[in-house]
Structure 1
Amino acid sequence: MKRTFAISEIDSVAQELIEQFETKTIAFKAGMGVGKTTLIKALVKALGSEDVVTSPTFSIVNEYHLSSGKIFHFDFYRIKNEEEALNFGIEDYFQSNHWIFMEWYENIPNLLPENYDQVTINLDKNEFRTLKLNNNLTTTQKNAMEQQNF
């Protein structure tokens, strides 16, 4: 799935994404300020949570509640090494059957689960965003894609 959208369309984009996801572990790739957290807010809402969504930059992980489970929203921007993620139990989160949304997942490349969906967001010149969804990536596929530039 590839889609260009204005920020005013974020709620409908979130609903489209949910219908396209093949896993419950989603890795978001975008530069600073491009809209990762804004999209995650819309996804949390579309999944049915009424929780207030904030960036977990300082807390590393925020938890949101659904009627049938949870969403764990990670921001690995401040993670200096993978040992930090292991120390707070990242593997336990990955083994749960809950939704996992990861910002700055590139900081824990060796800890990522074997399969996950990847959402890449680029900001265009006219303030439009181009989103690309790559479904059910394996770590090997993801590494090969890193060699390409979107």
Structure 2
Amino acid sequence: MLNTRKFQLSELEHVAKDILENATSKTILFYGEMGSGKTTLIKTLVKTLGSNEDVSSPTFSIVNEYSVVDGLVYHFDFYRLNDEEEAYNFGIEDYLESGAWLFIEWPDQVKNILANETCNRIYIESLDATTRALKFLTN
């Protein structure tokens, strides 16, 4: 587990490396207010895993897929999900069983589906325009 820490956005690459080195699961849940930096952190994580793809928020598509050195990353944004049934309709079980990295924003929208999953959790808070507080919990 990484302790709660404050960091500058200029340190994001170092923070991403620390997260990946300490992750105990390839499923990471991201918590934080809108604009706190969840997607920005995920962009850096995907890049750190070796992708050269343009990473963007899957707010409207629900899930984006990225190729990385050792496989795939699926980036979910469940903010616009109306209920868990929608997640079942697009096949969330297949993603959970894929063995790929899963980065999930707004996981509370599917908390019952994730209840039995082993997940790491990241809580991120914007302190000012360039400073974030991050808490990374492993299982």
Q: TM-score, normalised by structure 1?
A: 0.87
1:100 equivalent in structure 2? 102
Listed as ranges, the matches of 1:1-150 within 5 Å are 1=2, 2-112=4-114, 113-125=116-128, 127-136=130-139
Displacement, 1:22?
0.5
Structure 1 residue identity aligned to 2:68: L
Deviation at 1:114, TM superposition (A): 2.0
Which structure has more relative contact order (CA 8 Å, sep 6+)? It is 2
Q: State the superposition RMSD in angstroms.
A: 1.1
Identity %: 50
CA distance in 2, matches of 1:25, 1:121: 16
Per-residue deviation, 1:122: 1.2
Query: Which stretches of structure 1, 4 residues or longer, exceed 6 Å deviation after superposition?
Result: none
Residue 64 of structure 1: CA displacement? Answer: 0.2
Amino acid at match of 1:115: T
What is the CA deviation profile of residues 6-25 of structure 1, one whole-angstrom value per residue up to 9, with x for unaligned ones? Answer: 11111111111111100000
Matched pairs, number: 136
- What residue ranges of structure 1 are gaps of 5+ in the alignment? 137-150
Q: Distance in 2 between matches of 1:73 and 1:53?
A: 9
Contact 2:29–2:122 (8 Å) recurs in 1: yes
Counterpart AA for 2:126: L
CA distance in 2, matches of 1:3, 1:46: 20
TM-score, length basis structure 2: 0.94
| Offset of residue 130 of structure 1 | 0.7
Task: Tell me, yes or no, if the aligned pair for 2:49 and 2:69 is still in contact at 8 Å.
Answer: no
Unaligned runs of 5+ in 2: none
**TM-aligned CA deviation for residue 67 of structure 1:** 2.7
SS for the counterpart of 2:111 is coil
